[in-house]
Amino acid sequence: MPKGAALLDYHPSPPRSPPLAVPEDSKRHVSHYSVAPAYSCMTNFQPRKMRSSCQSAHFLRVALRLLPSKPAIRSKIVSASSSSPLSEETLSTSVSSNQITDFSLEQTDPAVLSRCEDLRYQVRGHRLDNPPNNTWNSSVITCSTPISHSTCQISGDTPASAVPSIMNSSIFPKLSCLHEVVIALGSNMGDRVETFDKALNMMKKAGVQVVCHAGLYESAPAYVTDQPKFLNSAVRARTNLDPRALLGVLKDIERSLGRIVNGVRYGPRPIDLDILFYGDVEFSDESLTLPHPRIWERPFVVAPLMDLYNSTLCDGNNIWIKRFEKAKCAWQLMGGDTQLCQDDLKRVLPIGGKLWQWSNRTYIMGILNITPDSFSDGGKYLSVQNAVAQAEALAAAGADIIDLGAQSTRPFATKLTSDEELKRLIPVVDAIKKLPSMESVWLSVDTFHSEVAKEAVKHGVHMVNDVSGGHLDPEMYSTVAKLCVPYIMMHMRGDPATMLQEKNILYKNVSADVGAELCKSLSKAESSGIPAWRIVVDPGIGFSKTCEQNVQLLGDLSGFRSGLASWSLAATKMPMLLGPSRKRFLGKICELEKAEDRDIATIGAVVAGIAQGADIVRVHNVKASIDAIRVADAIFKTKGLTRSLK
């Protein structure tokens, strides 16, 4: 474990605050036929104004509309209602949405209930081969699903028999378009991070396309406080499952991951998945309330929700703008970011089986080049023996991370194959992993080859540092997603051989442009399954930038962070790595030709970066830099002066 690190073991760790549950006093009665085993979602969903109906006339009309190709069943339905005032003429008459109101079963005529029960059992046994239009529009959704979701209680008190096995989302009717949803995740039992990973993969398989992740937060439990801390996050996703079908999918994932359906309310749980928002829908019945009713009282929900905001989502959408403003207001009333870094709520990143809280101090990444042609120390550590000796020296000097690179990324460097890179790298990794002094140090692999990343992690490396930001290997994102390790995503245009070509060094505003371009990489990475809480951003000092542009970028890191907000606020809060060490622009400023003479200049650049919120600094000479870094931390980090920049 790195020296002085604020780390928390996330393995056997149970519960968080209450599941995002529907309070008893907010539950409404819903139509008795909404739980029909055959077609449970014959329900009218209306954006902004959702209504439930228990009117038998409406149910029969929907049933007839759903079964136009089944004359035998249709005739049975009509005959079943023949003894009542509900004639077929009545059924074909349109009912205004204003006439559809909520009421309890107790208010319904027992004779009508009995006829509807008979009807439901006649319809239930017949499955439609071609369900009619299941479309979401401004007025109504008509859904006919073979599984009842209204019996799945958000509170976690659902009987096991009532929770269907629905991981195969093909059994659900699909709406005609995708809808934006926000889903909260919580866990405080077992390997909480691994459980999140599994839940996200299962959501993807079930037709829930996650496009953006919030950060990862550890929080003290609420309501029932005598239990372990929770991990919390949230995702923005798109799905064409209707709200009840989505609820059913999430409940089935919970059950598959070990959640006890009759567990203690607000008690420990391996996973808790809750729908916070479904488009602009407002809806309430006994199984589901949208938006979730207890969002605004829970910091561990509001913090991840804030992370999911972006200007694109809210552009022209008044509902999402209002939600963000409400979240922002709630967050400020709770204390804002000042409540982070406390025991009750911490933003963390999983690495090496621990939870890393990076904001209390600056972390030092020592550079170890296993190359013959690096610009600063090429050839010095090419042998395994020399590389291991240098790794020990970096660790002894105070490095928290050692970055191992077997491929030079200096301008115009020769590009190696992944096999050539691995030949240099793996023997050094294996030798370093045997050293007792390395137990408290994380290892990073500096590569843009996905195959190298995969093999290095297999041999014990903790994170992947990709100078290309995923652009030089189309398999990098999917590979890192499967590896479940932190991913350092750097900005670069072109490759080391072309990055200084004229087309690659043209910027309108270097800080804003670099942030905006990195957003595109973040979008692709998250869509590929790399959650925001595993990403570290790097503005790429020295890569595809002139000396003047490097100075401008280093002087406006807050502008770079602001540029990341066009993807999500979570991106602006990701750990930021800064790597100015011995770069050519420092030599130009200080008139120093030799790279190894630029360590003092490097310290100046590093301190400037720390003052603007850098969280990790990548340096060649850890021993020369560490005291300046500690002083900068004492000035900026302990007083929280950099938090407002994130």
Give the pairing type, strands 179-187 and 272-278. antiparallel
Answer whether residue 150 is part of any domain: no
Q: Is the C-alpha dihedral spanning 41, 43, 47, 50 positive or negative?
A: negative
| Calpha distance 525→464 (Å, rounded) | 13
Low-confidence stretches of the chain (pLDDT < 50) are: 2-173
Integer-rounded Cα radius of gyration of the chain: 29
335 lies in the same domain as 375: no
542 lies in the same domain as 431: yes
pTM for the complete prediction?
Answer: 0.74
CATH number at residue 529: 3.20.20.20
Please tell me the predicted confidence (pLDDT) of residue 210: 93
428 lies in the same domain as 539: yes
Q: Is the C-alpha dihedral spanning 504, 507, 511, 517 positive or negative?
A: negative
Final residue in a domain of this structure, among 107, 124, 141: 124
Amino acid at 435: L
CA 88 to chain CA centroid, nearest Å: 51
165 lies in the same domain as 296: yes
Final residue in a domain of this structure, among 96, 124, 152: 124
178 lies in the same domain as 116: no
| Calpha distance 511→165 (Å, rounded) | 49
334 lies in the same domain as 381: no
| Calpha distance 555→552 (Å, rounded) | 5
Phi, psi of 276 (to 5 degrees): -85, -45
Give the pairing type, strands 216-219 and 230-239. antiparallel
Residue 600's nearest CA partner among 582, 578, 618, 616 is 582
Q: Tell me the catalytic residues.
A: 583, 618
53 lies in the same domain as 190: no
Q: What is the DSSP string of 114-134?
A: HHHHHHHHHHHT---SS----
| Calpha distance 76→234 (Å, rounded) | 47
Amino acid at 248: G
| Calpha distance 365→351 (Å, rounded) | 15
Helix (H) or strand (E) run with residue 111 in it: helix 110-124
Helix (H) or strand (E) run with residue 494 in it: none
Please tell me the predicted confidence (pLDDT) of residue 27: 36
91 lies in the same domain as 226: no
Please tell me the predicted confidence (pLDDT) of residue 580: 96
Answer whether residue 631 is part of any domain: yes
CB-side exposure of 459: number of CA atoms within 13 Å? 22
Amino acid at 570: A
628 lies in the same domain as 500: yes
Residue position matching structure tokens 């934006």: 180
Are 461 and 455 in contact, with CB atoms under 8 Å apart?
Answer: no
327 lies in the same domain as 374: no
Answer whether residue 350 is part of any domain: no
Alpha-carbon distances of 115 from 80, 84, 304, 549, 620, rounded to whole Å: 7, 8, 48, 77, 81
Question: Domain limits at 262?
Answer: 160-339
Answer whether residue 22 is part of any domain: no
65 lies in the same domain as 190: no
Answer whether residue 217 is part of any domain: yes
| Calpha distance 486→193 (Å, rounded) | 12
524 CB-near residues (< 8 Å, 6+ apart): 470, 477
Are 483 and 457 in contact, with CB atoms under 8 Å apart?
Answer: yes
Structure tokens at 528: 């590929």
Answer whether residue 14 is part of any domain: no
Answer whether residue 25 is part of any domain: no
300 lies in the same domain as 367: no
Number of domains in the chain: 3
341 CB-near residues (< 8 Å, 6+ apart): 347, 357, 359, 360
CA angle 535, 538, 544 (to 5 degrees): 135
Structure tokens at 95: 């009912």
Question: For 378, which DSSP code?
Answer: T
Final residue in a domain of this structure, among 80, 99, 124: 124
CA angle 10, 356, 392 (to 5 degrees): 110
Per DSSP, helices labelled H in 55-95 are 56-66, 71-80, 88-92
CATH number at residue 202: 3.30.70.560
For the CA atoms of 231, 232, 236, 237, what is the dihedral angle to 10 degrees? 50
| Calpha distance 613→582 (Å, rounded) | 20
106 CB-near residues (< 8 Å, 6+ apart): none
pLDDT digits (tens, 9 = 90+) for 552-572: 999 999 999 988 988 889 999
Helix (H) or strand (E) run with residue 443 in it: strand 442-446
Residue 446's nearest CA partner among 538, 571, 345 is 538
Residue 213's nearest CA partner among 489, 509, 522, 477 is 522
Answer whether residue 362 is part of any domain: yes
Residue 239's nearest CA partner among 176, 305, 197 is 176
Quickly count: other Cβ atoms within 10 Å of residue 499's Cβ: 21
28 CB-near residues (< 8 Å, 6+ apart): 52, 102, 284, 285, 286
Query: Cis (ω within 30 of 0) for the bond into 71?
Result: no
Name the E strands within 179-313: 179-187, 209-213, 216-219, 230-239, 272-278, 283-284, 289-290
Please tell me the predicted confidence (pLDDT) of residue 203: 95
- In the chain, how long is the greatest CA-to-CA distance? 99
Please tell me the predicted confidence (pLDDT) of residue 558: 92
Quickly count: other Cβ atoms within 10 Å of residue 288's Cβ: 25
